Amino acid sequence: MSLKLDRKANKRRAERFGRWGEALAVYWLLLKGYQIRERRFRCAVGEIDLIATRGKTIVFIEVKYRRTGATSEDVSPFQADRIVRSASLYLAQNTPKRLDWETRFDLILLGPWRWPSHLKAAFGDDGWGNRSIT
């Protein structure tokens, strides 16, 4: 029975850290000039942590927080595919007024006592993309 309680406690702790990490990522993006459109967008396919815009680009962002520091390997190809499919549904439901918008899939990696790492175009429709850290 205690193992089951430990798992629930660990899950709640991870959820709390995840929400904290997403809040930190929101502030980081706002400082960089992004506008946050959605937090925790959920659909039948999956969930997208953050959806933001900057200029003519819609950015779908996965936030990862790890106590040991998150890395890009923390997002599996399966997770990346789920995020891409969720983004397709989001775009179908929320078509931008302009047709010339670009889409991008980014990662924000967080860890204790570290600055956030923003990996632009970390993955996309064609698989894993070029990774530029800013």
pLDDT tens digits, residue range 97-113? 666 788 999 999 887 88
Can you give the pLDDT at residue 112?
80
Sequence-distant (6+) residues with CB within 8 A of 10 are none
Can you give the pLDDT at residue 25?
92
Helix (H/G/I), strand (E/B), else coil: 30: helix
Can you give the pLDDT at residue 76?
79
Can you give the pLDDT at residue 49?
93
Which position has the token pair 């950015």?
59
Residue 7: burial class (beta carbons within 10 Å; 0-12, 13-18, 19+):
exposed
Can you give the pLDDT at residue 127?
47
Q: How far apart, in whole angstroms, are the C-alpha atoms of residue 95 and residue 128? A: 25
Note whether 90 and 44 are within 8 A (CB): no
Length reported for the chain: 134
Can you give the pLDDT at residue 5?
63
Can you give the pLDDT at residue 98?
60
Helix (H/G/I), strand (E/B), else coil: 55: coil
Can you give the pLDDT at residue 27?
93
Can you give the pLDDT at residue 104?
93
**Closest CA relative to residue 83, chosen from 105, 103, 57:** 105
Q: Which residues of the chain have pLDDT under 50?
A: 127-134
**CATH class for the region spanning 2-133:** alpha beta
Query: What is the identity of the amino acid at 50?
Result: L
